[in-house]
Structure 1
Amino acid sequence: MTSLIILSGSPSVTSRTGALSDHLATRLRGDGHTASVVRVRDLPAEPLLHADSTHPKIAEVADAIAGAHGVVVASPVYKAAYSGVLKLLLDLLPQFALAGKVVLPVVTGGTPAHVLAIDYALRPVLSSLGADHIVPGWFVLDRHVEPLPGDARLDQRAAEDLYPIVDAFSEVVRGRHALAVA
């Protein structure tokens, strides 16, 4: 079975990105993967701010990423880029933490103009971390995500657009895993 980590990079407790991360984890589990959501906002602030990659909670996330076959990186857009709290975590990961991984960037924002954050802000960082295969990312308008306890409801159009991307990510992860164990 393939293992996936979803990094939810929103600093907000009532986050549409967080709800969307839970929703994607449920969908990916339904497709036969194990999927864990890591809410970066729940990691201890001091080790993140002081770049302490040896802190047990930070090391635990790095180990989980190392053991995963695929990583979904989800973030709201702030100031034309991904969130600062996500940046803090990504900066603490080992240089090639995403080597051999399939990565799916997912970004939420209030206007379609924010879609550029995927390719101009997030994708370069994921590449610098050695991501083996970054599937085409996807942008979801905030208003298309309704947070629910432990899940989200997407409006029909958003779901019709996002699900094929998530399903393609799932298939790439599964295919690469099958090749690795063959």
Structure 2
Amino acid sequence: MKTITIISGSYSLSSRLNGLIEFIDHYYSQEIHLNFIHVHQLSAKALITADYSDPSILQANQLVEESQGVIVATPTFKASYSGILKTYLDLLPQHIFDNKVVLPLAIGGSSAHLLILKYALEPVLSELGAQHIVHGVYTLDSQIKRRDGGGFELDADASKRLSVALDYLKKLLAEPLMTKVTRF
């Protein structure tokens, strides 16, 4: 069974970003093993002081290392990805995304910021070794509704676009990657 690690750059579990994560969890159900890294739950001191040796950072990095795929999800703040996500990405080993398929996701209040995936987040993912980046999905906050009693529901458009990206990610995970990166 393939493994995907989801890195969430949200500041809380009540964020609408977790609606995307919930959708992914249900979408893949028993097909793919999912690991979850909620960056806000890692050691704040380790994140702020760039403590690479902190056990929470080492454990999170190990989950990424052992995965064949990675989903990086972030809320949009001031036309960029979240600062807490950046602090964690800075603690990942330089080539950790070599030979992995990566899917960037973002949510925001306006479609004016949808280019953060291409021009803010993807360059950082590439710097970490990602060569197989699935076309990201940007979702408006208004497309994610809170359900009475807890949980979230995506509207039809957001569900469809996210499903297409998840299907493509799953397809790439099933095939051998065309380019294997070997670093010396």
Identify whether the pair has TM-score above 0.5, normalized to the shorter chain. Answer: yes
Other-structure match for 2:144: 145
Other-structure match for 2:37: 38
Cα distance in 2 for partners of 1:151, 1:60 equals 27
Structure 1 residue 50: Cα displacement: 0.3
Other-structure match for 2:167: 167
Which secondary structure state, in structure 2, belongs to the residue aligned with residue 92 of structure 1? coil
List alignment gaps of at least 5 residues for structure 1: none
Other-structure match for 2:126: 127
Structure 1 residue 147: Cα displacement: 3.8
Structure 2 length-normalised TM: 0.91
Cα distance 1:69–1:147, how it changes in 2: closer, same or farther (>3 A)? farther
Other-structure match for 1:78: 77
2:91 alignment partner AA: L
- Post-superposition Cα deviations, 1:8-55, rounded to whole Å, max 9, x if no partner, equal 11113320112311221221234x110122111111100000000110
- Post-superposition Cα deviations, 1:90-120, rounded to whole Å, max 9, x if no partner, equal 0000010111110000000011011010011
Structure 1 length-normalised TM: 0.91
Cα distance in 1 for partners of 2:140, 2:130 equals 26
Cα distance in 1 for partners of 2:150, 2:98 equals 30
Cα distance in 1 for partners of 2:23, 2:45 equals 29
Of Structure 1 and Structure 2, the greater helix share is in 1
Cα distance in 1 for partners of 2:150, 2:131 equals 30
Cα distance in 2 for partners of 1:132, 1:147 equals 35
Q: Choose 113-122 or 166-175, whichever is displaced more.
A: 166-175
Q: How many residues matched?
A: 178
Indicate the RMSD between aligned Cα atoms, in angstroms.
1.9
List alignment gaps of at least 5 residues for structure 2: none
The alignment status of 1:21 with 2:12, answered yes or no, reads no
Cα distance 1:174–1:19, how it changes in 2: closer, same or farther (>3 A)? same
- Post-superposition Cα deviations, 1:73-96, rounded to whole Å, max 9, x if no partner, equal 000111111000000000000010
Which secondary structure state, in structure 2, belongs to the residue aligned with residue 35 of structure 1? strand
1:156 alignment partner AA: A
Which secondary structure state, in structure 2, belongs to the residue aligned with residue 140 of structure 1? strand
Cα distance in 1 for partners of 2:160, 2:97 equals 28
